[in-house]
Amino acid sequence: MKSIAEILGKESLEREDLIRVLEADEGECGPLFERAAAVKRSGVGGRVYLRGLIEYSNICSKNCLYCGIRSGNAAAVRYEMTEEETIAAARHAFERRFGSIVIQAGERDDAPFVARMERILRGIRALGGGALHVTLSLGEQTPDTYRRWFEAGAHRYLLRIEASSPDLYRKLHPDDARHRHASRLEALGALRDAGYQVGTGVMIGAPMQTAADLADDLLFFRDLDVDMIGMGPYIEHPDTPLYAHARRLPPAQKRLELSLRMVALLRVMMPDINIAATTAMQAIDPGGRERAILAGANVVMPNLTPARYRHDYLLYENKPGLDQAPEESVELLEARIRESGGSIAYGEWGDSGRFLARKSGGPPA
């Protein structure tokens, strides 16, 4: 069997290589994290970009089998922020020199919602003359909606494929017309056509997922030539059908460890993309996001959702920071990032290097 160092010496990582690393003993993985840190330094540098996260609404028309705000969960208390609250949260990000924000919500495509989001985007663009860059994470929409939101001022869009394998996707979602793997792939294509920086991602350690599935996910990201990735550990939620698998899952710490390995492998494979240190990592370990930064991530998303809504945007159990003011979370984060030799890039958009190189016709890294 090849050593991890030997595998990492190869020109290009293949499926078997990725499976081997994902299945390796923890003690073998030192060379992986060292290599990822070196590639990160030359690919994107030591700076960490901030995205102020606004959880705009937990109203969702979908029913994903893993998610706490699925439409079938009658126990979820639903909310939608007002346009004024959303723009105020964006102003807060602007004043704190975050450089960019993410607007995330459950998926819906009704005309009033689409129009409301368009107005919000125009309102945000008016703040500081377009000084904030905006990422949307609002699920599958028509190409026309994607175009309208782009024209209204959104720059990036995050649409996780959740599972690149159609088989696994089917096991994690209801088998109906609203939850089709093929439609999700089409939506990713439409986002690129509309001009967005495109991000995707998966859950890691989900029920029925194998190391081979995760290896295929990494190859999927590379083949799609994504600009950014948000991926994190699966965490069970008691009011969801997949909770029935909870007892058979590896412990949460193992799922976090696997997520860090995924981040490190992806950094080695795609040196100049943006990779997020996600909230689910922090839910398992209070220092989970910082560990992800050491493993190769370069983006963090401090939560700017008003406190009274935050308790209701519960995708999974033990979500962190529910009672924390955004100021506290960023100050803590800043101190920890400094400790690990990085720094926060205030007031910068932090566009994906991969995207900028493609746009200018430059060579890939």
Contacts with ligand SF4 by CB under 6 A lie at 60, 62, 64, 67, 69-70, 106-107, 139
**Residue 316 binds which entry of ligand SF4, ligand 5AD, none, CB below 5-8 Å type-dependent:** ligand 5AD
Residue 192's DSSP bridge partners are none
Contacts to ligand 5AD from residues 162-181, by CB under 6 A = 162
**DSSP state for residue 303 in the 8-state scheme:** B
* Rounded Cα–Cα distance for residues 71 and 62 (Å): 6
- Residues 230-269: x/- map of binding to ligand 5AD (CB under 6 A)? ----xx-x--------------------------------
* Min dist. Cβ of residue 67 to ligand 5AD (A): 4
**Residue 62 binds which entry of ligand 5AD, ligand SF4, none, CB below 5-8 Å type-dependent:** ligand SF4
Q: Report long-range pairs for 152-155 (Cβ below 8 Å, ≥24 apart).
A: 152/117, 152/118, 152/119, 152/121, 152/122, 152/125, 153/121, 153/122, 153/124, 153/125, 154/121, 154/196, 155/100, 155/196, 155/197, 155/349, 155/351
Contacts to ligand 5AD from residues 310-329, by CB under 6 A = 315-316
- Residues 205-234: x/- map of binding to ligand 5AD (CB under 6 A)? -----------------------------x
**Residue 235 binds which entry of ligand 5AD, ligand SF4, none, CB below 5-8 Å type-dependent:** ligand 5AD
* Min dist. Cβ of residue 250 to ligand 5AD (A): 14
Cβ–Cβ under 8 Å, residues 207 and 245: yes
Cβ–Cβ under 8 Å, residues 283 and 311: no
Give Cβ neighbours of residue 192 (< 8 Å, ≥ 6 apart). Answer: 198
* Min dist. Cβ of residue 67 to ligand SF4 (A): 3
**DSSP state for residue 38 in the 8-state scheme:** H
In terms of CB distance, is 51 or 62 closer to ligand SF4? 62
* Min dist. Cβ of residue 233 to ligand 5AD (A): 6
Q: Is 62 in the site for ligand 5AD (CB under 6 A)?
A: no
Q: Report long-range pairs for 80-84 (Cβ below 8 Å, ≥24 apart).
A: 80/56, 80/105, 81/54, 81/56, 81/57, 81/305, 81/306, 81/309, 83/116, 83/119, 83/120, 83/123
Answer for which of 33, 66, 149, 313 binds ligand 5AD (CB under 6 A) is: 66
User: Residues in the site for ligand 5AD, rule: CB under 6 A?
Assistant: 66-67, 160, 162, 203, 234-235, 237, 280, 315-316
